[in-house]
Structure 1
Amino acid sequence: MAITGTLEDREDIRGLNARYCWTIDFGRYDEWIDCFTEDGTFESPRFGKHSGRDGLKRFAALYKESLGGAQVLHVVANPAFELDGAIGAGTAHLLYYHCKEGKVQQSTVGYYTDKLRKTPAGWRFASRQVTILGHH
């Protein structure tokens, strides 16, 4: 991918990726939802597709319940994206750790496919789709 967009735009998107991880890992779901545009969509093979603020709130409730008290850790690595004005598209690797009873019980690898949009509040995910490697 070519390097496009301003350094400020690119740094904002890197911060968006970090904020996405921190907020979902520590149960700050309203802040996680704010990583998306108003009509933003999140899609995963396990939980399906969820759109808009209400859809993302429903996903967050399902996700929280699915954890069963475990601590999780999302690591987003190698973000790559192309920007064209106020829109963009990108990918990032996902490393996911599910920790319970003092040990890592599950680790998952995959990647995100993103559509990005610049809003008055900064860059947000217009859509984020996760692909889990080895998941059919």
Structure 2
Amino acid sequence: MDDAAELIHLCAVYALKMSQGDVHHIMEHVFTPDGSYSAFGDTYGLADWPRLVEAAPKGLFLTGAPVLDLDGDTGTGEVPLLFIDQTNHRMRMGWYSDTYRRTEAGWRLVTRKMTFLRRHGGADSGMPHDPTRPAPTTTGTSAPDAAGPD
């Protein structure tokens, strides 16, 4: 249960720091150095993280508790997400599919993949549609895709 509590806290820190715009805290205290984030058909390594977040809408990240599957010093999880844009209150909803690793500094995210719930009733990782979103230059670590193919 101590591991679960630490991972619940880690996921909550991610949501709070994203809402506060503190990308550097996330890079230093939430992800592993080889971590990556996937959405919109692309995977971004941490070297690209600040540019990606800068191009994205700002707003509130509301997350639920993760559903975890831990095996020793690694694990996977899924975290429900509701994002509310600060400027127009439009929402994006879905879930994160994560992989985790225990490090000397504690549990960290290795990969995080976004899956969006769509009005038509389906779910997908999104389509590359934002011309201001930078293309990834690094992809970080590859890991099993807990959410299925794009």
Range into which the TM-score falls when normalised by the shorter chain = 0.7 to 0.9
* Contact in 2 for aligned 1:45/1:132 (Cα 8 Å): no
- Is residue 24 of structure 1 aligned with residue 18 of structure 2? yes
* Contact in 1 for aligned 2:8/2:65 (Cα 8 Å): no
**Which residue is equivalent to 2:115?**
131
Distance 1:78 1:29 in 2: 21
Question: Equivalent residues in 2 for 1:6-21 (5 A)?
Answer: 7-21=1-15
Question: Equivalent residues in 2 for 1:96-107 (5 A)?
Answer: 96-100=83-87, 104-107=88-91
If each structure's helix is expressed as a fraction of its own residues, which one has the higher value?
Answer: 1
CA-CA distance at 1:122 after TM superposition: 1.0
* Contact in 1 for aligned 2:97/2:114 (Cα 8 Å): yes
5+ residue gaps in structure 1? Answer: 1-6
Q: TM-score, normalised by structure 1?
A: 0.79
Q: How many residues align?
A: 119
Residue type matched to 1:110 in 2?
Answer: G
CA-CA distance at 1:58 after TM superposition: 2.9
**Which residue is equivalent to 2:103?**
119
- Is residue 43 of structure 1 aligned with residue 38 of structure 2? yes
TM-superposition CA deviations, 1:65-110 (whole Å, max 9, x none): xx3xxx511111141011111100111111111122xxx5301110
Residue type matched to 2:27 in 1?
Answer: I
How well do the aligned residues superpose, as a CA RMSD in angstroms?
1.7
- Is residue 91 of structure 1 aligned with residue 78 of structure 2? yes
If each structure's strand is expressed as a fraction of its own residues, which one has the higher value?
Answer: 1
Percent of pairs identical after alignment? 26
CA-CA distance at 1:33 after TM superposition: 1.5
Structure 1 residue ranges, 4+ long, deviating more than 6 angstroms after superposition: none
Distance 2:6 2:65 in 1: 15
Distance 1:120 1:41 in 2: 19
5+ residue gaps in structure 2? Answer: 119-125, 128-150
Q: TM-score, normalised by structure 2?
A: 0.72
